[in-house]
Amino acid sequence: MFSVRIVSTDHYMATPVRGLDAMYADQRGSEVKKVPIVRIFGSTPAGKNSCY
């Protein structure tokens, strides 16, 4: 199990990465042009600062 104390978050939309993100949306029947990116900044219980 992994835990992190969230200090800050942010998000943005980016071009999908082939092999990592879906490139086609079956529900819409079209190509995916942007995917959501969510970043979480915080620290672990041991106090190590991290970005996920």
> What is the distance between the alpha carbons of residues 42 and 5, in angstroms, rounded to a whole number?
5
- The secondary structure of residue 15, as a DSSP letter, is P
Region of poorest pLDDT, from 1-10, 14-23, 31-40: 1-10
Q: What is the pLDDT of residue 29?
A: 95
**Taking the model in full, what pTM does it have?**
0.67
Buried b (16+ CB within 10 A) or exposed e, 6-42: eeeeeeeeeeeeeeeeeeeeeeeeeeeeeeeeeeeeb
Average pLDDT of the residues of the chain = 88
CA–CA distance from 17 to each of 6, 36, 51 (Å)?
26, 12, 20
